[in-house]
Amino acid sequence: MEIVLKASNLKKQYGTRGIMCNALDGIDLEVKKGEFLGIMGPSGAGKTTLLNVLSTIDVPTAGEVYYEDKSIVNMKNKELSKFRRDNIGFIFQDYNLLDSMTIEDNIALPLALSKMNSDEIEKKVKSLSEFFGIEKQLKKYPYELSGGQKQRVAATRALITSPSVIFADEPTGALDSKSASELMACLSKMNEEFKTTIIMVTHDSFCASYSKRILFIKDGKIHANLDRGNSRKEFFNRIMNLLSSMGGDISELF
């Protein structure tokens, strides 16, 4: 299967000489097209740092990140901005919606910035809003929606440009359990039907069980790699067992 993203010997250090923190310490990974990859680990393990480096939000201290064999680490700002716009979608915990714009305009914004024809934009927004069950919310504003609805809007906006990879950083962190389950079902359906590659950081084992594979990060290194198989329930139990082995009391890990 095609490799859509590859990282080689990724390192990220913070601090000053003499007081350095190795947030990432030589990480190697490959992500195949159409994968749903979860990233878990203890607090401070480097999960979000890894997500930020892979998604071009941050740059590594050392190492390489390739998208389909193209290195992005040394791209200039203008080239990187265009690459990010055309190839990467984001879903954040706090939605990142613009309150002054309707839901329809929030979703359409990435396409409008790329100067797509307005009729084509309207078709894509209509199709994807129906897929995510928010078609009746398009004329509303973000403050009129529930947290779960806002996150489905964010997922719709992330998918609207047909990106190579969608990055989700704790996408259920601000949601109740029902809304979290609905969102994860949507992301799973997105992954299956559109073959969308998703990389998600989460601390929630239930949400992680929707992934097809999980990397467990500890002390800036890959500690374990877990494939789902067929049963999500059995996968959830394996996740819980591995988290216990990584640090004892699960409640203290996050």
- pLDDT tens by residue, 91-149: 988 889 999 999 999 999 999 988 889 999 999 999 999 999 999 999 999 999 999 99
The lowest-confidence range among 15-19, 181-185, 219-223, 228-232 is 15-19
Mean pLDDT of the chain: 91
Backbone φ, ψ for residue 242 (5° rounding): -70, -40
The one-letter amino acid at 146: S
Order of strands, sheet of 62-67, starting from the edge strand that comes earlier in the sequence = 19-32, 3-16, 62-67, 70-71
3-class SS of residue 14: strand
What is the pLDDT confidence band of residue 85, given thresholds at 50, 70 and 90? confident
Name residue 20's beta-bridge partners: 15
The lowest-confidence range among 16-25, 106-115, 133-142, 207-216 is 16-25
Distance of CA 157 to the CA centre of its chain: 13
The fold for domain 3-252 equals Rossmann fold (3.40.50)
Give the predicted TM-score (pTM) of the model.
0.92
Closest CA to 193 of 125, 113, 141, 132: 132
- What are the DSSP E strand ranges found in 134-227? 165-169, 197-201, 213-218, 221-227
What is the pLDDT confidence band of residue 10, given thresholds at 50, 70 and 90? very high
* Tokens of residue 7, six digits: 């990282």
